[in-house]
Amino acid sequence: MEVMAQFQEVLKQSSLHPKPAGLVLQYGTAGFRTNAKQLDHVMFRMGLLATLRSKKTKATIGVMVTASHNPEEDNGVKLIDPMGEMVTPAWEGYATQLANAEQEDMLTALKDIIEKETINMSQEANVFVGRDTRCSSLSLSQAVLDGVTAVGGHSKDYGLVTTPQLHYMVCCQNTEGKYGEATVEGYYNKLSQAFIRLAKNAPNCTDDQKHLCVDGANGIGALKVREMESLLKTELQISIFNDGTKGKLNYQCGADFVKVQQKPPTGILMNTGERCCSFDGDADRIVYYYVDSEEQFHLLDGDKIATLISTFLKELLTQAGLDLKIAVVQTAYANGSSTDYLENTMKVIVRCTKTGVKHLHHAAQEFDIGVYFEANGHGTVLFSKAAEQKIQQLANDPNTDDERKRAALLLQNTVNIINQTVGDAISDMLLIEAILAIKGMTVQQWDAIYTDLPNRQLKVKVLDRRVIDTTDAERRALSPPGLQEAIDTLVKKYRKARSFVRPSGTEDVVRVYTEAETQESADALAHEVSLAVYRLAGGVGDEPKSLH
Ligand SMILES: CC(=O)N[C@H]1[C@@H](OP(=O)(O)O)O[C@H](CO)[C@@H](O)[C@@H]1O
Ligand SMILES: [Mg+2]
């Protein structure tokens, strides 16, 4: 189609996906997210934008319709760049401009991007689309597809997939299959084969040890684990709870609920000491937990996962005699005990970045092996090309002695089980299960590697959360005036205490984090810091109440 006619078509189609006048949304920590009723125009426009991005990069781009851990009524959209990573920041800016342009200015906003990025409109474009199980996701993903078609792109609709599965498809497609086959079956085969090979190194694993309870958050993860189950054969026996047949998505279940509330999800049958895990609503996060004989709940969050994985990798590197630099990337939410253990006992490099996987991912790319996890369980491992080559070479070298060869093969299968494009609950689960089996480690032993400092996360409602500006990987507030000083004074009252506040990028709240020697101190400090935020940063509604 000729360019002018193309724009006419965009205009015509756009009028079928009109923007409510005055509505302003931001591309936040992980894409746009709000009540599903407000998103039709955003989806259509993200279809347009993904097509432009595809033309620009001459590669396939992904669009995932999901609001992850948010309530069922919400929805959202995430854009995926050619290597399967999150879309680059400059284009997040375009996304915001395009989504917020009033109906009559939409075409101008679109042309603006085309001009700024000197996009050749006759270039072919391909967009992969996926969605989660929310009621609103089907029609919203149709709006994305309409957007792609309107500007002359080709699309492939993967239907119901987890977010990390779609990231994987995009990476496979753009690497001509080197990363794997761009199908859901290809994904299951690659991961399950690597898992079976790893599990072969744990011949003494009993049936009890092979059992795992999975809380699927009543979302897409439950469906996808079920599809994969038979391929894991006898090496892993999974009981799936909250599979979406009865309960509501993310409601009193799922990784976010378990992490923030520090308690088990509803809808799960847990025996004492049994290993359990929870996914979030789009299956890119995972946390583990168990209940001990005194009914005490034990959470193994992203920090514990990062510690387990990096310990395993470090041991294998030593056994293989490979000199590769390994680092762990965390955010300010990482428990102080985990950072202390990683730095001082394990002696690995630790980096702290701003919240949001894109920041962690970027930092992890600077090392031979970068293990990154947010405390909430979102994370993965990145291997540099050079690291992968060294592992490959050693595994294939006929002169390698047995111990080194075994370690190299384990490393090779570890590379294959990991979804390096983004945090992936299914892939992380399989890796963790394999590590525990190989090391002959129980969930209790894993938990005992270090003891978490008691901590608390709270939310405070303010008029405009943008009044809070932070620095030092969000650990210190620069504005409003007096806030950081107030926090510093409060923190000094408690032993081993730490606290910071930051505006959320996914919800209209300010988040408060505290940790201290005791839970009482962490809770009291959290309340006091919440009050400081409320008073100094324009709190709305009732004053924050004490937790006890
Ligand atoms: C404290 C916390 O868990 N924050 C989450 C949450 O971001 P906020 O910007 O804090 O709303 O959602 C993000 C997207 O899922 C995730 O990357 C991040 O870790
Ligand atoms: Mg998620």
- Confirm or deny that 502 is annotated as ligand binding: yes
Segment (H or E) for 75: strand 74-80
The C-alpha atoms of residue 254 and residue 250 are separated, in whole angstroms, by 5
Question: If you measure from the C-alpha of residue 112 to the centroid of ligand 1, how many angstroms do you get, rounded to a whole number?
Answer: 31
Q: Whose CA is nearest to atom 15 of ligand 1?
A: 30
- Confirm or deny that 506 is annotated as ligand binding: yes
Q: Where are the domains of the chain?
A: 3-160, 186-297, 302-428, 455-536
Mean pLDDT of 490-505: 97
Asked if 186-297 and 302-428 have one fold, the answer is yes
Ligand 1 and 29: CB distance under 6 A: yes
Q: Output the CATH code of domain 186-297.
A: 3.40.120.10
Ligand 1 and 357: CB distance under 6 A: yes
Question: If you measure from the C-alpha of residue 69 to the centroid of ligand 1, how many angstroms do you get, rounded to a whole number?
Answer: 10
- Confirm or deny that 375 is annotated as ligand binding: yes
Give the closest residue to 302 by CA, choosing from 215, 378, 212, 380: 378
Ligand 1 and 512: CB distance under 6 A: no
Ligand nearest to the CA of 220: 2
Ligand 1 and 68: CB distance under 6 A: yes
Three-class DSSP category at 383: strand
The C-alpha atoms of residue 299 and residue 289 are separated, in whole angstroms, by 4
Q: Whose CA is nearest to atom 16 of ligand 1?
A: 356
Nearest atom in ligand 1 to the alpha carbon of residue 503 is 9
Encode pLDDT of 518-534 as tens digits.
Answer: 999 999 999 999 999 99
Ligand 1 and 70: CB distance under 6 A: no
- How confident is residue 35, by pLDDT bands cut at 50, 70 and 90? very high
Encode pLDDT of 125-159 as tens digits.
Answer: 999 999 999 999 999 999 999 999 999 999 999 99
- Confirm or deny that 45 is annotated as ligand binding: no
DSSP letter at 484 equals H
Q: Percentage of residues in the chain with pLDDT exceeding 90? A: 94
Kindly report the length of the chain: 548
Provide the pLDDT for residue 208. Answer: 86
The string of DSSP codes covering 278-291 is EE-TTS--EEEEEE
Q: Percentage of residues in the chain with pLDDT exceeding 70? A: 100
Q: Whose CA is nearest to atom 1 of ligand 1?
A: 333
Encode pLDDT of 404-422 as tens digits.
Answer: 999 999 999 999 999 999 9
Confidence check: pLDDT of 2 > 90 = no
Provide the pLDDT for residue 207. Answer: 86
- How confident is residue 30, by pLDDT bands cut at 50, 70 and 90? confident
Question: Pocket of ligand 1, candidates 64, 374, 502: which has the most ligand atoms within 8 Å of its Cβ, to mutate?
Answer: 374
Ligand 1 and 509: CB distance under 6 A: no
Encode pLDDT of 341-368 as tens digits.
Answer: 999 999 999 999 999 998 999 999 999 9
Question: If you measure from the C-alpha of residue 375 to the centroid of ligand 1, how many angstroms do you get, rounded to a whole number?
Answer: 10
Question: If you measure from the C-alpha of residue 198 to the centroid of ligand 2, how many angstroms do you get, rounded to a whole number?
Answer: 27
Question: If you measure from the C-alpha of residue 418 to the centroid of ligand 2, how many angstroms do you get, rounded to a whole number?
Answer: 17
- How confident is residue 545, by pLDDT bands cut at 50, 70 and 90? very high
Mean pLDDT of 466-484: 97
The C-alpha atoms of residue 79 and residue 77 are separated, in whole angstroms, by 7
Question: If you measure from the C-alpha of residue 178 to the centroid of ligand 2, how many angstroms do you get, rounded to a whole number?
Answer: 26
Q: How many CA atoms lie within 13 A of 188 on its CB side?
A: 16
Indicate if 136 belongs to the active site.
Answer: no
- How confident is residue 471, by pLDDT bands cut at 50, 70 and 90? very high
Provide the pLDDT for residue 434. Answer: 98
Mean pLDDT of 385-397: 96
Mean pLDDT of 496-510: 93
Confidence check: pLDDT of 380 > 80 = yes
Ligand 1 and 511: CB distance under 6 A: yes
The C-alpha atoms of residue 370 and residue 381 are separated, in whole angstroms, by 6
- Confirm or deny that 164 is annotated as ligand binding: no
Domain 455-536 classified CATH 3.30.310.50?
yes
**Where do the DSSP E strands lie in 415-537?**
455-460, 469-471, 476-479, 498-503, 510-515
Confidence check: pLDDT of 29 > 80 = no
Encode pLDDT of 153-174 as tens digits.
Answer: 999 999 999 999 999 999 999 9
Provide the pLDDT for residue 28. Answer: 79
- How confident is residue 3, by pLDDT bands cut at 50, 70 and 90? confident
Q: Measured on CA atoms in the order 116, 122, 128, 130, is the torsion positive or negative?
A: positive
Provide the pLDDT for residue 133. Answer: 98
Provide the pLDDT for residue 547. Answer: 84
Look up residue 61 and give its two tokens. 């781009």
To the nearest 10 degrees (0 to 180), the angle between helices 184-199 and 425-439 is: 10
**Whole-model pTM?**
0.95
Question: Pocket of ligand 1, candidates 74, 456, 458, 504: which has the most ligand atoms within 8 Å of its Cβ, to mutate?
Answer: 504
- Confirm or deny that 505 is annotated as ligand binding: yes
Ligand nearest to the CA of 423: 2
Confidence check: pLDDT of 1 > 80 = no
- How confident is residue 74, by pLDDT bands cut at 50, 70 and 90? very high
Encode pLDDT of 265-284 as tens digits.
Answer: 999 999 999 999 999 999 99
Provide the pLDDT for residue 548. Answer: 78
Mean pLDDT of 282-296: 97
| Mean pLDDT taken over the chain | 96
Confidence check: pLDDT of 205 > 90 = no
Confidence check: pLDDT of 505 > 90 = no
- Confirm or deny that 88 is annotated as ligand binding: no
Residues 6+ apart with CB under 8 A from 389: none
Provide the pLDDT for residue 507. Answer: 84
- How confident is residue 234, by pLDDT bands cut at 50, 70 and 90? confident
Ligand 1 and 374: CB distance under 6 A: yes
Nearest atom in ligand 1 to the alpha carbon of residue 260 is 3
Confidence check: pLDDT of 455 > 80 = yes
> Interface pTM (ipTM) of the complex?
0.98
Domain at 302-428, CATH from 1.10.1060, 2.60.40, 3.40.120, 1.10.3470: 3.40.120
Domain at 3-160, CATH from 3.40.120.10, 3.40.50.720, 3.40.50.280, 3.40.190.80: 3.40.120.10
Catalytic residue among 14, 68, 137, 141: 68
